[in-house]
Structure 1
Amino acid sequence: MPATLVAEWARQDVNNTTFLHNAPLPRFTPLPSPSSSDTKRYEALVIGAGPSGLMLTTLLTRYGLPSTSLLCIDSRPHQTLVGNADGINARTLEILGQLGLESRIRRDGTRFAESTVWTREESNPEVLVKKMTLPFDMAPARYEQLITLHQGHIESIFREDLKRYDGRDVQYGSKLVDMRIDEDGDKEFPVLATIERDGVREEMRTKYLVGADGAKSAVRGSMGVELEGDMTDELWGVIDLVVDSDFPDVRRQSSINTLPGKGGEIWVTGGVKGGFIVPRERLSNGDFLTRLYLDMTVKNEQENGVATARLAEHQRQTTKERRNQITEALILDRAAKLFRPFRFEVKKGTQVHWWAAFRISQSLTKSFTLKDSTSHPRVFIVGDACHSHSPRQGQGMNVSMQDSFNLAWKLAYSIFGIDASDGGSKLLDSYEEERLPNARNLIAFDKRMNQEGLAMKEKWAEMKQFVVSCGVEYGEGLCVSRAKFKKEQTWTKEDYLNGVILPGRRLLNCRVKRFADGNMRDIHDELGSEGRFSIMMLASYDFGVKDGRSTIIADDICSKVIKKFSPGLIQPIIVQPHLHPEFQWTDLPSSIRQEAEMSLHNASADTYKVYGVEHSGSHAGALIVVRPDGIVGMMAELEDTQQVVTFLKRMVRTVE
């Protein structure tokens, strides 16, 4: 087939395919009226168009914020072209799956299946020996555990999704110069931002501003907060290349450990922890990209009589100096020495795609928000703007996007007036209340992974919770309630990771069979990406039986509970373990048939077991409230529909 015809068909497919937009969230506040001055006004201004900024902009767009109310800017002239982040973990894939954006990543990225560990024997340090091969299997998840794909691809996927909605795109080449809260100038749009583009400065006003502008965040600087923590002595080099190597596991995620060095220029010849390979995606010419991380740390010999503080300061200065001396050639030389006796070099006819040298920072800001005079949060920071840690666990891009996923629905509820009656302050406060402890726990985990003497068994238990982000857990708060639901069994963190429902953790995906058409479905697809809450009822065996306990409760949810809130904002999902052979659809109350026709599912007893819920007996079943970000907000016994209503009223306005 002629290439021109293939290109034309591809173009028509992009331009002519029908795209189903999300239904916007209900809005109880008026759209902003045109400004009487020349100052542009927005309801949300996003600074930074990396993955976290684009995730937030995409979600706010889907929730119904028009381009006249939402602007995303970036100081760069264009999106990421080379380097930066490259790992998308299991939980991020699940989130992108809810948005329908995961397919290209899974198609184009490289999936981690196995991980190997290589080391040198002290008796013969010139030999590199494989110690183990492990399946890369951390936690049950809907998709793969980890996929590597260049950050630029992720940004492109988000930008294409934005263009589908109303043709909007990022405003590149625009830099935030200054930001402050100025309620006297405009109380409704109190955040005043000065933006510079093409050498021209312009003032803009916004209700809310979000800094997704990275580790050197201008937003964080304008907030007057600093990253606090440790700038370690660890120095690493990273390089992306098409490699020519006879190393057997060059296409697997592999760790290579060295032996301690013996003085001299040990930062090149030894004395480091080694490095690890990250296999990457296939390029357009058919070559496969490889990323290599190398420990380039300098360790000074301790001198007798020299104070510890002086040694530490000398070590920091040495590390800083060595970082400035690292070059592409030095990284490649170090790689050749690390992999000896195997060959490891740049493939002939190709060039290194990207390289960098960096120090490991493990730091965190004390606050993720800036409030106005009424204590209402107006400015937020997400991602690297508010926390930094080692890239070795592959968390940076993932945690950043998950920050935005947590914030987006809360921001939309506040802008649209969907939130409870306090104007959204408590709901917006919950962003920091949930994400700051999560970042703190991640940094603590990162430090423990480097702790000498920590047993591999202990490391593995923690890695399973953190590395693929499926163990993220929010504590009791406005959006999480663990009251009243009783369990006879004591569950462990491992049980929760494997699917047992716990408020504050994500709902594990399970396969169910839709009653209406017999299709197998994923529960995550039922949650959707429209910013809605879901009341998932795990019914007992008496569902469908006239006057049965589960039937009565399902009728109450569909006819009363969801009617207390704006239409379409709370969706019922009914899962039941068995239907009597003589059951007829018309046997159900009309409210269930109307509200849950396409969300009534059959599930096996194994599904109930995974969720830690009984499927038969007098106390069988449960009610689960799932938040718009896929986190379980609360869990109650079937009869406790009033508890569900009380919980939802904490976050969502009623329409009664």
Structure 2
Amino acid sequence: MPVFVESAHDARDTRINPAHLTALPRLAAPPPTEGDNYEVVVVGSGPAGILSSVLLARYGLASVLTVDSKPESVHAGQADGLQPRTLEVLQSLDLAHEVLTQGCQMHEVAFWNPTDGDGKGIERTAFVPDVAVAARYPHEVTIHQGRIERILNEDLEKHGNAVQRGWEVTKFQLEEGEGEFPVVVTMQKTGGDEKRVVRCKHLIGADGAHSTVRKGMGLSLEGDTTDHVWGVIDTVCTTTFPDIRKRCAIHSSAGSIMIIPRERISGGAVLTRIYCQMEDSPAADKVASKESRGKVTLERIMEQARRVLAPYTIEFGHVDWWAAYQIGQRVAPKFQMSDSKGVPRVHIAGDACHTHSPKAGQGMNVSMMDAYNLSWKLAHTLLGLAPSSILHTYESERHSIAEQLIAFDRSFSTLFSTPLTTTSHTTSGLTHDEFLRVFRTGGGFTSGCGIEYSGSTLVDTSVRGVVTDGLRESGLLWPGRRVMNVRTKRFADANPRDLQDDMPSTGVYRLLVLLPSAFRATPGDFAGLLTAYSADIPARFPQGAVETVIVFPGERGNLEWTDFPACVRAQGEWTVLGDHYGCVYGTFSVDVAKGAVAVVRPDGYVGVVAGLQEGGDGVVDGWLRGVLVGV
């Protein structure tokens, strides 16, 4: 049975298996050897693949092989935008600093439409917040995908592993009755004849839209295969257009473009990404689609941008990358393949299981959240902390999100490609108000902050009357939703804290105990309750698998450290927090007179909520016994 302990370098930094944490850097894992056995083989080192490997390494799985057919990571183009929820996850891994300080933050979106009347020019019709839902980071960040991959690769190497480049997986098969390592993976050196055959317990296919792993599962991407033809360019430009450093959605009589400001590059210049609609209507079939894309040139993209922005001028300097694309909205019917005993053994993530246009701003975000959802479940299963049945929730949770993404992207892309009318009084075409409404209502989904997982082993949707009435869209303390960030003050040292920073991505469950107002007057009356949640319940599960975060209402006042039970003082110095700023209970819609308790999953999503004193300890204990092994 794995034992959770605290690492030497940070008393708050627990890991499922801390053996990989050491004061000295470890050598990176060697390349694959014929006949090797691995706990996990990850195929692909894009955002979904590399984040999977990083998380598995952090969770203590040393036997993970990551391979990629490409000789190096991307240097230009591809995804560039990170949504608020993705930023929260990177922060929980202490990997957000460079992104937040060197990326381009987008706080506002400008909408431009045809000039009312003659429609020959364009005019700004609205400024709206880029993120309209409650979020710790109320903005998007654009930064090159290659930099994200570099940050993750450095962290992977720091934890003793590395991507093995130049190895292409050609096939895999499940061999039943072959012991612990039933997945047989065949790979070949890219551009050569050298082959390797290895075995693993689990295979993750994060190998893109043309995924070999998905095809080996007998699956294909299903959905629309044609769309409007668009061109995209990353460039350094000079322009009289006033909103070039804002995210812009521009409709004109000459077509539509989207402007995405990018980060600085060498020499101090700044990049701008411009998406240009190149055709008025979608191609009729795949052949016509390929022909339409083939007609798109760099010069055509530049000229189309000039026409849409007129009467403003734009001149193009350095071009970092350009492309023509026509991506349909498609999703695989399944994300997992199980063995004869029903244990999911093969999993696909990212573009391997869903593709969409870049207009919804999801890019690498949904792919990385696939990895974030899957990795801790794999780690818990492989380390014997949880039944393998929790692996099934990866497909049920993430397939639903992929379908929602496809539906939203189809709607938004169609609207963006539809010409706008010049007045709101005409009955034909699309009005600005209609387009703006779709943009705003989709904000909870696109930001990632409004994602909600449905009921399952890991989500008990009966809220048991704890949370008061309110809009679920605002991100209340609700099963299936991520824990919103709130500002608190730590009791021990009066340190202002973001709650999410006290719930880092370390692979553990957390009991979030919101004490009622009566605790302030008679803290001794709650000694038994705090002992149950801080000591009794965690002791029933593997050491360190469950920890407790305690929040009391209001400021510190007359409270003393000795007012808390000895078990809290011994274990919870860093996780006793006060609602000093008066935002916790209101944000979570919890009655301060009653309090509440919630179990937060290792990925930051709420698993169950219960009343604090009305049998809440039994609810929490029962729920945990369904997702963790007992001791």
Tell me, yes or no, whether TM beats 0.5.
Answer: yes
Q: Is the 8 A contact 1:532 1:570 kept in 2?
A: yes
CA–CA separation in structure 2 for the residues paired with 1:557 and 1:20:
20
Structure 1 pair 377–566 and aligned structure 2 pair: CA distance change class (3 A) = same
Deviation readout 1:262-296 (Å, 9 max, x if unpaired) = xxxxxxxx4x4x11100000012100001000111
Deviation readout 1:158-215 (Å, 9 max, x if unpaired) = 011112222x22111111111111124x321111111111511111111000011111
What is residue 622 of structure 1 aligned with on the other side? 596
CA–CA separation in structure 2 for the residues paired with 1:504 and 1:550:
29
- 263, 266, 276: which one aligns with 1:294: 276
SS of structure 2 residue aligned to 1:242: strand
What is residue 423 of structure 2 aligned with on the other side? none
What is residue 539 of structure 1 aligned with on the other side? 515
CA–CA separation in structure 1 for the residues paired with 2:292 and 2:187:
36
1:492 aligns with 2:471: yes
Amino acid at match of 1:502: W
Deviation readout 1:121-173 (Å, 9 max, x if unpaired) = 3643432222222232321211242000000000010011112222x221111
1:42 aligns with 2:35: no
1:433 aligns with 2:396: yes
- 527, 540, 549: which one aligns with 1:564: 540
Cα displacement (A) at 1:456: 4.2
What is residue 482 of structure 1 aligned with on the other side? 461
What is residue 182 of structure 2 aligned with on the other side? 190
1:323 aligns with 2:312: no
What is residue 618 of structure 2 aligned with on the other side? 642
SS of structure 2 residue aligned to 1:285: helix
Give me the TM-score of the superposition, normalised by structure 2: 0.89
Q: Is the 8 A contact 2:237 2:316 kept in 1?
A: yes
Give me the TM-score of the superposition, normalised by structure 1: 0.86
1:361 aligns with 2:328: yes
Give the alignment of 1:92-171 within 5 angstroms: 92-121=86-115, 123-166=117-160, 168-171=161-164
Give the alignment of 1:34-433 within 5 angstroms: 38-66=34-62, 69-121=63-115, 123-166=117-160, 168-184=161-177, 186-198=178-190, 199=192, 200-259=194-253, 270=254, 272=255, 274-299=256-281, 314=284, 317-347=287-317, 350=318, 352-420=319-387, 424=388, 426-433=389-396
CA–CA separation in structure 1 for the residues paired with 2:54 and 2:224:
33
Q: Is the 8 A contact 2:34 2:197 kept in 1?
A: no
What is residue 519 of structure 1 aligned with on the other side? 495
Deviation readout 1:429-488 (Å, 9 max, x if unpaired) = 010011101111111112232357583464144222112110100001010002252158
Cα displacement (A) at 1:597: 1.9
Cα displacement (A) at 1:22: 4.9
Amino acid at match of 2:163: V
Stretch of structure 1 that moved more, 314-323 or 209-218: 314-323
CA–CA separation in structure 2 for the residues paired with 1:334 and 1:547:
69
Identity of aligned residues (%): 36
CA–CA separation in structure 2 for the residues paired with 1:183 and 1:625:
37
Amino acid at match of 2:172: M
CA–CA separation in structure 1 for the residues paired with 2:573 and 2:104:
39
Structure 1 pair 24–600 and aligned structure 2 pair: CA distance change class (3 A) = closer
| Structure 2 gap ranges (5+) | 1-8, 20-32, 416-428
What is residue 33 of structure 1 aligned with on the other side? none
Structure 1 pair 20–250 and aligned structure 2 pair: CA distance change class (3 A) = farther
Q: Is the 8 A contact 2:47 2:367 kept in 1?
A: yes
CA–CA separation in structure 1 for the residues paired with 2:118 and 2:217:
55
CA–CA separation in structure 2 for the residues paired with 1:606 and 1:428:
35
CA–CA separation in structure 2 for the residues paired with 1:19 and 1:623:
27
- 598, 623, 632: which one aligns with 2:606: 632
Q: Is the 8 A contact 2:131 2:140 kept in 1?
A: no
SS of structure 2 residue aligned to 1:107: helix
Q: Is the 8 A contact 1:43 1:70 kept in 2?
A: yes
Structure 1 pair 588–520 and aligned structure 2 pair: CA distance change class (3 A) = same
RMSD: 2.2
Q: Is the 8 A contact 1:297 1:319 kept in 2?
A: no
Cα displacement (A) at 1:331: 1.2
Structure 1 pair 345–246 and aligned structure 2 pair: CA distance change class (3 A) = same
Give the alignment of 1:423-462 within 5 angstroms: 424=388, 426-449=389-412, 450-451=414-415, 455-456=434-435, 458-462=437-441
What is residue 25 of structure 1 aligned with on the other side? 16
Cα displacement (A) at 1:250: 1.1
CA–CA separation in structure 2 for the residues paired with 1:462 and 1:493:
13
Structure 1 pair 488–637 and aligned structure 2 pair: CA distance change class (3 A) = closer
CA–CA separation in structure 2 for the residues paired with 1:113 and 1:137:
7
Q: Is the 8 A contact 2:105 2:142 kept in 1?
A: yes
- 438, 444, 447: which one aligns with 1:468: 447
CA–CA separation in structure 1 for the residues paired with 2:150 and 2:403:
30
Structure 1 pair 489–143 and aligned structure 2 pair: CA distance change class (3 A) = closer
Cα displacement (A) at 1:26: 4.7
Cα displacement (A) at 1:522: 1.0
| Structure 1 gap ranges (5+) | 1-17, 29-36, 260-269, 301-311
Deviation readout 1:71-127 (Å, 9 max, x if unpaired) = 111111101111100000100000000000001001110000221112223643432
SS of structure 1 residue aligned to 2:201: strand
